[in-house]
Amino acid sequence: MTQRWLCSTVSVCLALAWHLAVASGPARAQTAGGASTPAAGPVLLVPPMFGDRIDPTIDPVTGVKTVRLQPIATTYSSFKVAENESPLPMDRLFVTYNFYRRVLGTQDVHRESLGIEKTVLQGNASIGLRLPFYQIHSDNSPDSSKVDDLSLLFKCAVLRADDGALSTGLAVTLPTGPSYQPAAAHERTIAQLQPFLGYLWRQGNFYLHGFLSVDVPTDAVAPTVLFNDLGVGYRLPVGGLLRAVIPTFEVHVNTPLTHRSAGDPERRRDSVHLTLGAHLELGERTWLSLAAAAPVTSPRLFDAEALVRLNWGF
């Protein structure tokens, strides 16, 4: 009942927020002749990061998130700020796909998400929404599929220039999906609050961007985790429909701040993941992106990950 009420409340809040965002629209400036034109601002043309979202192990029978045998730091949620996100507020619709091969040696996990981001406050802030889905193919249990936790993201660019930007904000993941099952306690309903700092620097066709964020659960049975994500890319102009190809490389460092001791049943360990891919720039603000990722620290939660992103700017 509580969860149903929460979902209904969130839906109403989202509808109101979206109405206000659309009503505000992009900032307009008056020309000498009285015509209305979009307000000027830096054009950075930098696609969102790929990210390295690592999901909790999910029991394919019960659909419950569990930490049993989970060897590395996770968000315990459906969302990590660096996952398909840019430090800049953007107007976009997006679809993402992640494939994890041999999770814990026994499962293949497919995960998709749908999302939208809309700018407000003359393009200096944005409100985002994303909803993920997953399917699990296990060697030991029947296949399963679920809808995961709904995430909201509020972002504000506190500094913007022709060669870079600095932003801050908050991601809120609501417990609308499977419950969280601790290793030594009863099933819990947990939300996550993830304040973050985003940064972007560009010099010619080269750019560097990243996020520093902290995932704080509403129940201390799940760990608080520090995320440090850094990516670099270089824009190679092509022409025609394919305006550019942008090779990119990312490093993701996940550091649990709690539940680190060896005797803790909820123990999490530091982890580092590398992502290598390319963005295909289709039009001014649309990117089709392909990448592969792998953990480089032990123990390894999965063998390899494939990532596909489609971001359509409007």
Following DSSP, what letter does each residue of 153-178 receive, concatenated? EEEEEEEEETTEEEEEEEEEEE--SS
Query: Is residue 38 included in any domain, yes or no?
Result: no
Domain assignment of residue 11, yes or no: yes
The per-residue pLDDT for 69 is 34
Along the 314 residues of the chain, how does pLDDT read in single tens digits? 434 434 443 444 444 444 434 444 444 333 344 433 333 344 457 999 998 765 444 444 444 454 433 333 333 445 789 999 999 999 999 999 999 888 767 788 888 999 999 999 999 999 999 999 888 888 877 888 888 889 999 999 999 988 999 999 999 999 887 777 677 677 888 899 999 999 999 999 999 999 999 999 999 888 899 999 999 999 999 988 999 999 999 999 999 999 888 888 777 888 899 999 999 999 888 999 999 999 898 877 778 899 999 999 99
What's the pLDDT at 87? 95
Look at residue 53 in the predicted model and tell me its pLDDT: 64
Burial zone of 78 (CB within 10 Å; 0-12 exposed, 13-18 middle, 19+ buried): buried
For the chain, first and last CA: distance in Å?
A: 37
pLDDT at 162: 86
Other CB atoms within 10 Å distance of the CB of residue 136: 24
What is the structure's pLDDT at 77?
Answer: 45
Residue 27 lies in a domain: no
Total domains, the chain = 1
Output the domain CATH number for residue 149. Answer: 2.40.160.40
29, part of any domain: no
Range of the domain at 231: 2-22+59-313
49 within domain boundaries: no
Dihedral sign computed on CA atoms, order 274, 278, 284, 286: negative
**Phi, psi values for residue 6, rounded to 5°:** -60, -45
Q: Secondary structure of 141-157 in the HEC alphabet? A: CCCEEEECCEEEEEEEE
pTM: 0.79
Cis, peptide link before residue 48, omega less than 30° from 0: no
H or E stretch covering 49: none
In-domain check, residue 157: yes
Residue 42 lies in a domain: no
